[in-house]
A and B are shown apart, each in its own frame.
Chain A
Amino acid sequence: MSGEKEIRTKIKSIQSTQKITKAMEMVAASKMRKAQDRMAGTRPYARKIRNVIGHLAMAHPEYKHPFLVEREAKRVGFIVISTDRGLCGGLNINLFKKAVTAMKEWQEQGVEIDLCVIGSKASNFFRRHGNIVSEITHLGDTPHIAELIGTIKVMLDSYEEGRIDRLYLVANEFINTMSQKPYVQQLIPVEASEEEELKHHWDYLYEPDSKEVLDGLLMRFIESQVYQGVVENVACEMAARMVAMKSATDNAGTIINELQLVYNKARQAAITQEISEIVAGAAAVG
């Protein structure tokens, strides 16, 4: 029998794969909702602190914090945020492409690159392509800012000691369930805000003094931007996985339908053959 049984086992195995992808889709969907809520919660803080920092870069403090001073770039740092697990479509690959393009631009100018990777996918990818100075993986679905601080501090320290002259963040932005966009953001030196009314010469009053306030504020700023990136990345991961698993489930359905047709044809052919054999046998006897 031309593979009737084989086709049947094949259909079975695809069906069980389909069940798995279906389940993964639903898990991702429910996790996405939670991740999205968390992301919406942390966004205002990240946005507000970016505003404040933008204002600050326009001010003229007597104390020049190193994070506010532009230096000639001899070596730049990148913080890349990826997922820990795969099966989430092109999310990580698109992000890495963006990161690699940005790094190429620097490398063509003879600038070297230090990397800080978050998530095991980035860690695996850049192990072959770059110089990783710090990494953290397996943050889980509910990352905490405390877990990130050490990793980020490595980069901040190397900036303060002059080993790197720029720091960029490469992460995914959650636009909606269907689309996530990788972006590159300059963290240090801090970029000034565009507001017109602040263009004149002015400065803050600092309490207790500008050094202490700026140190604390800038540290918090970097941490909150990276944390926001991580939280957003979880939402992106879940959304991308949900979409990828949905299309996998749909594809499995199509393949099953096609195989079912082939199977039916094979079965019909077998029956027809059997009948014609019997008829031929009967004719020979008669």
Chain B
Amino acid sequence: MAMTIHVDIVSAEEEIYSGPANEVFAPAVMGEVGILPRHSPLITHLKPGEVVVRQEGKEDQYFFVSGGILEVQPHVVTVLADTAIRAADIDEAEAKAAKERAEEAMRNSQSDQEYAKANAELLEAIAQLRMLEHIRKKVAR
């Protein structure tokens, strides 16, 4: 049997996933990273995007994170997500609306702080939408 690595995905509100995986993908700030068992210790920020847990003999599982921190120990991966949602729970309409709201706010924003906030919201909404498309393609295939 292939080697596995233990994955914990937690958000500030709840525990989202805990279990073994053969491979984990996460959206690190410097670019997407793929983690296999016995990866050397790594710690990095995450940007909005999807965390994929791949397990042999099972379908890939997708989780949306809107940012957070990824810690890797040789046998444990911990995702400390700011908010993580199971991909199936993302409401597409809601995501689109959020994107529009953020764009609107960005156009109207006065201060730098408002701009930064709107920008963050926009990135988040885009990441959610991208992830939904991703899943849809998978299903269509």
Taking Cβ atoms with an 8 Å cutoff, the residues of A that contact B are: 41-42, 44-45, 48-49, 51-52, 55-56, 59, 145, 202-208, 212-213, 216-217, 220, 224, 227
Contacts and interface: CB of A to CB of B under 8 A. Distances in A.
Nearest to A195: B73
A212 B45 contact: yes
A145 B12 contact: yes
B43 A41 contact: no
Contact of B12 (A42, A59, A202, A212): A42
B10 A45 contact: yes
Contact of B80 (A59, A145, A220, A227): A220
A48 B8 contact: yes
Main secondary structure of the interface of B (DSSP, over half): strand
Main secondary structure of the interface of A (DSSP, over half): helix
Choose among A59, A212, A217 the residue with the greatest number of B CB atoms under 10 Å from its CB.
A217
Given A204-B42, A204-B43, A208-B45, 14 more contacts: A41-B15, A44-B10, A45-B13, A48-B80, A55-B41, A145-B12, A203-B41, A205-B41, A206-B42, A206-B43, A207-B43, A213-B45, A217-B43, A217-B69
Interface of B: 8, 10-15, 28-30, 40-45, 69, 71, 73, 78, 80
A55 B8 CA distance: 16
A214 B80 CA distance: 14
Contacts of A213: 43-45, 69
B45 A52 contact: no
B54 to A, nearest CB: 21
B15 A44 contact: yes
Contacts, number: 69
Contacts of A42: 12-14
The 3 closest A-B pairs by CB, nearest first: A207-B44, A44-B15, A41-B14
A204 B72 CA distance: 9
A220 B69 contact: yes
B11 to A, nearest CB: 6
B71 A45 contact: no
A51 B42 CA distance: 14
A74 B2 CA distance: 54
B6 to A, nearest CB: 12
B45 A216 contact: yes
B43 A44 contact: no
Given A49-B80, A52-B69, A217-B69, A44 B44 contact: no
B83 to A, nearest CB: 11
Contacts of A48: 8, 10, 78, 80
B14 to A, nearest CB: 4
B41 to A, nearest CB: 5
Contacts of B14: 41-42, 44
Given A45-B10, A52-B71, A208-B30, A59 B78 contact: no
A204 B44 CA distance: 9
B38 to A, nearest CB: 14
B58 to A, nearest CB: 23
Contacts of A207: 28-30, 42-45
Choose among B12, B44, B73 the residue with the greatest number of A CB atoms under 10 Å from its CB.
B12
Contact of A45 (B12, B29, B41): B12
Contacts of B43: 52, 56, 204-207, 213, 217
B71 A55 contact: yes
Given A48-B78, A48-B80, A220-B69, A227 B44 contact: no
Given A52-B69, A55-B71, A220-B80, A41 B13 contact: yes
